[in-house]
Structure 1
């Protein structure tokens, strides 16, 4: 995208930053008894940002303000969400923070928020609490207590496009963000979601984790392992090595890798970051696997002249050389074990785009 448009991708702001700004605007409106069109907050990265309020209302005892989340150029499920904060005076001192409509509630252990609480992650929680405290002190109300409720009217519907339900976050989205900004197509954000999914699975007793490269692979894996709970299935995307190491660190007993020819032909060579730009398909290596599998030399020549790994897979399937897929799956297992330095059972399942089994191998390291 960057090469095509020759423009830098635009950063956005996290739900946590939006919630903090809305909470500040609501409390300011409550104290001053005036509507607020903007609120400026300090992000965790040390940058001050001003948010425009979509709405601001106040009464004697409570006020509400809301801002629309701008996710920048990131394909974020919560882009365009209205993030609301209601601030209400309490009789007793102290700041209470909770989630309202459209903010999920945690029902499974393994997340950074305790079971039963609103899915407002630690950094946004801290941002909101500190900002509210600063505003109270600024206007001489440090002795007063307030309750802050964060809501996202469309949150429950938006959550259907996320993995929240699988992680045990029910009823809406999570209020997230460690830096305050959304970096478009951030690999760190995707890795963080993998870590979170592994934590939830292991904390809830899943010692057999199934890592897939995408939605189709995962769907096939779920059909193969209907007895496993939903949280055992984790989309690792291109981050094969990273995901394997995270599973090993959490002491998984067994790891199943599920994917297709393109990405797994790279894993078989020991390439553990399998994005299309990370490394080209090595047709010489696939030819070597074919020879080891008893494929005749004329077909090996066809492999060397192929354009894609999928084309090689189609050729081997058409000619009935199942041994090729078994050998490739074996290579994937061995390279996976090499990556984590053993101590875990690794299974590789190689499938077609249509969800047909090509090869399957398990090696206990």
Structure 2
């Protein structure tokens, strides 16, 4: 298998740009590459794109490189402007750390919701990139003191607003641009863990901002659209992909009390069989679970054979003549989720559907729907 190439984070791009600015502004050195010190003291070499110098400030840009990660920011130009000043007009959106002032500009998002790594009102510059910026500035100043001058760093991304529309930023509460991200400084190709982390963060943001004790888990966009058509409150809905068990655990951790699962029976049938990661590489057995539950509601043997020969769950639904089957499966989904939670004080209900409008609703869903 081909080894995937790593890239560097937006945070590392900012740090490299700052270091290049300092070298040009204070030492009059134009660097094609800079070595930056990461949070774990490893060194990362990053190319510089362009520089411009004036009397008391310098601007530098770095081109974001994402390696083999399918990142919408790949190839984006990130700028910093470093200015030496005597006094600072401190604003609430800025960061002030040891007389080093860091702010955002065009294309850098501002935090508008609780639950993220920085307070509401601040520019969306995460703690680790901030730490790396300060660390690398101090390493430079140790060899190149500037007396009583203060350093002002302004980050801006000309295409940041446009690119942010392709991300979850606005949903998470980051308005008008992108976040400056990175934990280690090195961008590794998107992993399953990274996706799960982003889902957990979205769930946390919903909990802290909407203040509700219920959540709708949709298996995919079909489920979300179905909820919208029903007129349900989708402001407290999250598309959980395949990670049913993981997201149930997250809901417990964050204090949710009611979970509504809504989605196509193709995913739901796996949960009815006790499968809590619905990706096909983990487990399948959809048709077998369909058959088992069809037998339990008394479906005739001829239809059972047709279900066994079905190519998809959607096709298998065509051979179900017992209308109670779909409610039966919805109840199974709800109870299996509660079983997974092993006695936690959370109630689960489910609504499932096929593309041909065959719908199953668990017993308590209608009772609980007043919450949604």
TM-score (norm 2): 0.88
TM-superposed CA distance for 1:351, in Å, is 3.0
Match of 1:31 among 26, 31, 34: 26
The alpha-carbon distance between structure 1 residues 258 and 185, as it changes in their structure 2 partners (threshold 3 A), is: farther
1:227 aligns with 2:203: no
1:360: Cα distance to partner?
2.3
**Which residue does the alignment assign to 1:3?**
none
Q: How is 1:218-297 mapped onto 2 (pairs within 5 angstroms)? A: 218-229=224-235, 232-297=236-301
Task: Say if 1:36 and 1:56, in contact at 8 Å, map to a contact too.
Answer: no
Which of 30, 37, 49 is 2:44 aligned to? Answer: 49
> Match of 2:69?
74
What is the CA distance between 1:158 and its match in structure 2? 0.8
2:142 to 134, 137, 144: 137
Deviation at 1:45, TM superposition (A): 5.0
Higher mean C-alpha deviation, range 280-289 or range 153-162: 280-289
Is it true that 1:207 corresponds to 2:213 in the alignment? yes
After superposition, the CA RMSD in angstroms is: 2.2
Q: How far, CA to CA, are the matches of 2:309 and 2:12 in structure 1? A: 52
Gaps of 5+ in 1: 1-5
Kept in 1: contact 2:227–2:234 (CA 8 A): no
Indicate conservation of the 8 Å contact 2:84/2:151, yes or no. Answer: yes
> Structure 1 141/222 Cα, relative in aligned 2: closer, same or farther at 3 Å?
farther
Please say if residues 281 and 309 of structure 1, whose CA atoms lie closer than 8 Å, have aligned partners that are also in contact.
Answer: no
For 1:56, what is the secondary structure of its paired residue?
strand
| Equivalent pair of 2:314/2:355 in contact (CA under 8 Å) | no
Shift of residue 153 of structure 1? 1.0
Aligned length: 354
Contact 1:86 1:149 in 2 (8 A): yes
CA distance in 2, matches of 1:33, 1:315: 77
Distance between the aligned counterparts of 1:352 and 1:28, measured in 2? 62
Q: Deviations over 1:172-226 (max 9, x none)?
A: 0111111222222311211111121111111111322122222232232233354
Offset, 1:353: 5.1
The gaps in structure 2 that reach 5 residues or longer are: 88-97
1:180–1:219 CA distance, 2 compared to 1 (3 A): farther
Structure 1 residue 101, shift from structure 2 partner: 0.8
- 2:198 matches 1:193: yes
Compared CA separation, residues 213 and 184, structure 1 to 2 (3 A): farther
Is 1:165 the counterpart of 2:166? The answer is: no
Which residue number in structure 1 is paired with residue 106 of structure 2? 101
Q: Which moved more, 1:108-117 or 1:172-181?
A: 172-181
**What is the aligned partner in structure 1 of residue 92 from structure 2?**
none
Displacement of 1:228 in angstroms is 4.5
Secondary structure, in 3 states, of the residue corresponding to 2:311? coil
2 CA distance for matches of 1:102 and 1:314?
51
213-222 or 160-169: bigger deviation: 213-222
Distance 1:258 1:10 in 2: 37
Structure 2 CA distance for aligned equivalents of residues 255 and 47 of structure 1: 44
Q: Taking structure 1 as reference, are residues 353 and 129 closer, same or farther at Cα in structure 2, changes over 3 Å only? A: farther
Indicate if the aligned counterparts of 2:39 and 2:131 stay in contact, CA closer than 8 A.
no
